[in-house]
């Protein structure tokens, strides 16, 4: 026989389902839909590691390769650039809802000493910037010595 739970105190019984209450609370914390492009753009990044080194994937839809700058200084790799918003003109369609970001961006990643910064390769394909960060084969980070 199944157990039925019953709240015999109606004043303590919730009048709405807990899901609707949570949704309403969380909805108030979300930004309202914007009709103008935002000035902040932070590209999403994925970092992968293999036996050969690291791979860094940055999502940069609509950013031409000429607008991307990649610098390495003092152990930090910085990827910066700009994603321009579509031009607003009288004949152009009006924004009704904008969820993507536009504007300048900069992401900085601290690289370990094991990365060979002179061999870093960058490719932009289909809006994904792929940086290959190979390990420096001359640097030894771990070595086990056998006892004879």
Kindly list the domain boundaries of the chain, sorted by start residue: 40-86+101-141
- HSE value, Cβ hemisphere, 13 Å, CA-based, for 35: 4
> What pLDDT score was predicted for residue 34?
56
> What pLDDT score was predicted for residue 98?
74
Candidates 77, 76, 64, 88; CA nearest to 131 is 77
Is the pLDDT reported for residue 148 higher than 70?
no
Contact, 143 vs 114, CB < 8 A?
A: no
Instruction: Match 């914390």 to its residue by tokens.
Output: 29
Stated pTM of the model: 0.66
pLDDT digits (tens, 9 = 90+) for 68-118: 999 999 989 999 999 888 777 778 777 777 777 888 999 999 998 889 888
pLDDT band with cut points at 50, 70 and 90 for residue 2: low
What is the dotted CATH code of the domain comprising 40-86+101-141? 2.60.40.790
Contact, 106 vs 97, CB < 8 A?
A: no
Give me 3's structure tokens.
């157990």
The mean per-residue pLDDT over the stretch 34-63 comes to 85
Is the pLDDT reported for residue 35 higher than 80?
no
Is the pLDDT reported for residue 33 higher than 80?
no
């Amino acid at each position: 026989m199944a157990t039925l739970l019953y709240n015999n105190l109606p004043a303590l019984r919730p009048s709405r389902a807990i899901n609707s209450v949570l949704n309403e609370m969380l909805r108030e914390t979300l930004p309202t839909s914007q009709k103008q492009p935002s000035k902040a753009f932070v590209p999403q990044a994925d970092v992968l590691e293999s036996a050969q080194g690291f791979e860094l994937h940055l999502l940069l839809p609509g950013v031409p390769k000429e607008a991307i700058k990649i610098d390495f200084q003092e152990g930090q790799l910085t990827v910066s650039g700009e994603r321009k918003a579509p031009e607003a003109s009288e004949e152009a369609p009006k924004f009704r809802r904008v969820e993507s970001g536009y504007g300048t961006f900069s992401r900085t990643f601290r690289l370990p000493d094991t990365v060979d910064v002179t061999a870093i390769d960058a490719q932009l394909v289909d809006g994904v910037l792929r940086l290959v960060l190979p390990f420096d084969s001359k640097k030894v980070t771990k070595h086990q010595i056998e006892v004879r």
